[in-house]
Amino acid sequence: MHIDLSGRTAIITGSSQGIGLAIAVGLAQAGARTVLTGRDEERLAQARQRLVDEAPAAEAIAVRCDLGTEEGAGELRTEVPEADILVNNLGIFAPADPLEITDEQWRAYFDTNVLTAVRLIRAYLPGMRQRGWGRIQNIASDSALVIPAEMIHYGMSKTALLAVSRGYAKAAAGTGVTVNSVIAGPTHTPGVEDFVYDLVGRDRSWDEAQREFMRLHRPQSLLGRLIEPAEIAHLVVYLSSEQASATTGGAVRVDGGYVDSIVP
């Protein structure tokens, strides 16, 4: 399948590393003008350099802003007034005792993982509808469906993203704009290797370690290994394409079979 996103502008939030950066690279390789966002200027510069290295022909810009605030969203909108593709990847997560999660933490997770996406959809969807073409994707998680006991606040926020996606897909109905969620499964991101080695020991190769980790701690996975960020990016690139014009309002899984369900 040949995917050509030439002439399209794509914004990817939380894209200075990990899944977000992999998505940005994938969209750039498909020809999109790619907008990286993040709060750390040095990380953004490094991310942009990696993107240019892997997609030399692509146009890429980096916008330093805090998208967890209205001011940050306004700064992004000033730098990039219109977009054809919006990938809401920005999110925070950390374990917490369920009975010790404070009101402030609940609000922080909702504000960062949900309201940030809503705010940017409000900003960019009208232009997409007017032009008759657009792609919006909210990066959710298996935790949206399999709520982790140690991260209820995180799971809540990802479940909310599924509702946001379905609702805005209805708001975009019949306009040529699609809105979907991407349910990502256990993924190999920065910091995960140390986490895995801490659990299974460091006296083995990475391939052996991650498979042991999956066997002991993520046995639901049918893949038997962690998902690479580029594998999630492949699905996002497809959903951003002309070929995905009939896929909207969905919660599309790239979870390695982790969620034990025929449908989301």
Catalytic residues: 154
The type of residue at 219 is P
Q: Which two tokens stand for residue 245?
A: 């014009």
Asked if residues 253 and 49 have their Cβ atoms less than 8 Å apart, the reply is no
DSSP H helical segments within the chain, as ranges?
A: 18-29, 41-54, 70-79, 103-110, 116-131, 152-171, 192-200, 206-217, 229-239
Asked if residues 189 and 144 have their Cβ atoms less than 8 Å apart, the reply is no
Angle at 188 between CA 184 and CA 190, to 5 degrees: 115
Q: In this structure, is the dihedral angle defined by the CA atoms of residues 171, 84, 238 and 186, taken in order, positive or negative?
A: negative
In whole angstroms, what is the distance from residue 257 CA to residue 221 CA? 5
The three state secondary structure string of 56-72 is CCCCEEEEECCCCCHHH
Angle at 254 between CA 9 and CA 193, to 5 degrees: 95
203 SS3 class? coil
133: nearest Cα among 165, 169, 168, 176:
176
